[in-house]
């Protein structure tokens, strides 16, 4: 199982039956593949609907996901305009948002929308999602391709939102903010505490209950 699938599989365990969830583009879209039996979630698509599903058969006109790609819709889907969509997001009606990160820090700050002078695509819906969702899970690889830390004492890149992250899932570890303190709660199979320490710049606590991730047989 590669890093992305492991992360998606671990985040899927956080989702409860009935949750309303917004998934960012890329890695987070793998998460529905790993939901436990009996866990049914409703996906919110910020371009204007609840009930996003996989594309089945030929694309329908005017049915695209937040990446502009053809998608499906499940029975019970509701469409709405962008003000309603973001009222749902900002107003705390989304239980969980899962999105990627360039940097996260020990204060719960997230930077994932621009690299000054290099990448300025715009924030899209990310700032509203991170501000308004009840739980913000950052799903990302633990380090950059160059091996630099991404979980920092303080983000260097422009923030998406300040102090809103509730958990971080990587291929090495699962962290939660517990009482405002970044806390290591799980390690990936075969990964030592020392390795995580060496690859993480942030200060963090290690939960007394810290354990190895329990991944289903098909996924590990």
Partner 1 sequence: MTNRNKRIAVADLRPRFRDGMTIMFGGFLGTGTPDSMVRELLDSGVKDLTIIGNDTALATTGIGVLVANRRVKKVIASHIGTNAETGKQMIAGELDVELVPQGTLAERIRAGGSGLGGVLTPTGVGTIIEKGKTKLTLDGVDYLVERPLRADLAILKAHLADESGNLVYRRAARNFNPLMALAADFVAVEVASIVPTGDIDPDHVMTPGTLVDALVLVEEK
Residues labelled as active-site residues: 46
Using the contact rule CB under 8 A, the part of the chain among 96-104, 152-160, 170-178, 189-197 near partner 1 is 152-160
Task: Please state, in angstroms and as integers, the Cα–Cα distance from residue 53 to each residue in 32, 64, 191, following that order.
Answer: 10, 10, 34
Q: How far is the CB of 46 from partner 1 (least distance, A)?
A: 7
Which residue, 124, 123, 202, is CA-closest to 158? 123
* Residues whose CB is less than 8 angstroms from the CB of residue 71 and which lie 6 or more positions away in sequence, other chains included: 45, 52, 53, 54, 55, 63, 64, 65
Q: Which lies closer to partner 1 via its Cβ, residue 10 or residue 108?
A: 108
Interface with partner 1 includes 67 (CB under 8 A)?
A: yes
Q: How far is the CB of 43 from partner 1 (least distance, A)?
A: 13
Interface with partner 1 includes 162 (CB under 8 A)?
A: yes
CA 165 vs. chain centroid, Å, equals 10
* Residues whose CB is less than 8 angstroms from the CB of residue 65 and which lie 6 or more positions away in sequence, other chains included: 45, 47, 52, 71
Q: Which lies closer to partner 1 via its Cβ, residue 45 or residue 187?
A: 45
Q: Which lies closer to partner 1 via its Cβ, residue 123 or residue 210?
A: 123
Interface with partner 1 includes 68 (CB under 8 A)?
A: yes
Q: Dihedral through CA 118, CA 137, CA 4, CA 158, nearest 10?
A: 10
* Residues whose CB is less than 8 angstroms from the CB of residue 218 and which lie 6 or more positions away in sequence, other chains included: none
Near partner 1 by CB under 8 A: residue from 59, 74, 120, 193: 120
Interface with partner 1 includes 131 (CB under 8 A)?
A: yes
Interface with partner 1 includes 26 (CB under 8 A)?
A: no
Interface with partner 1 includes 74 (CB under 8 A)?
A: no
Interface with partner 1 includes 135 (CB under 8 A)?
A: no
Q: How far is the CB of 130 from partner 1 (least distance, A)?
A: 9
Q: How far apart are the C-alpha atoms of 93 and 101, rounded to whole Å?
A: 22
Using the contact rule CB under 8 A, the part of the chain among 47-55, 98-106, 134-142, 211-219 near partner 1 is 47-55
């Amino acid at each position: 199982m590669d890093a992305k699938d492991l992360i998606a599989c671990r985040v899927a365990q956080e989702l409860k039956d009935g949750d309303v969830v917004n998934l960012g583009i890329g890695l987070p879209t793998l998460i529905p593949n790993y939901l436990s039996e009996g866990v049914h979630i409703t996906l919110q698509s910020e371009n204007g609907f609840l009930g996003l599903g996989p594309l089945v058969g030929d694309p329908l006109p005017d049915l695209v996901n937040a990446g502009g790609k053809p998608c499906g819709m499940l029975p019970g889907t509701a469409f709405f305009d962008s003000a309603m969509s973001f009222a749902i997001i900002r107003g705390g009606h989304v239980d969980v948002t899962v999105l990627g990160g360039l940097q996260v820090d020990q204060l719960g700050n997230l930077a994932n929308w621009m690299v000054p002078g290099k990448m300025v695509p715009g924030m899209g819906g990310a700032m509203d999602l991170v501000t308004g969702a009840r739980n913000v899970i950052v799903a990302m690889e633990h380090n950059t391709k160059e091996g630099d830390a991404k979980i920092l004492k303080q983000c260097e890149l422009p923030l998406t939102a300040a102090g809103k992250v509730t958990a971080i899932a990587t291929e090495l570890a699962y962290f939660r903010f517990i009482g405002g303190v970044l806390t290591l709660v799980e390690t990936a199979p075969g990964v030592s505490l020392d390795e995580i320490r060496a690859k993480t710049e942030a200060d963090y606590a290690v939960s007394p209950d810290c354990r190895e991730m329990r991944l289903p047989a098909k996924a590990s």
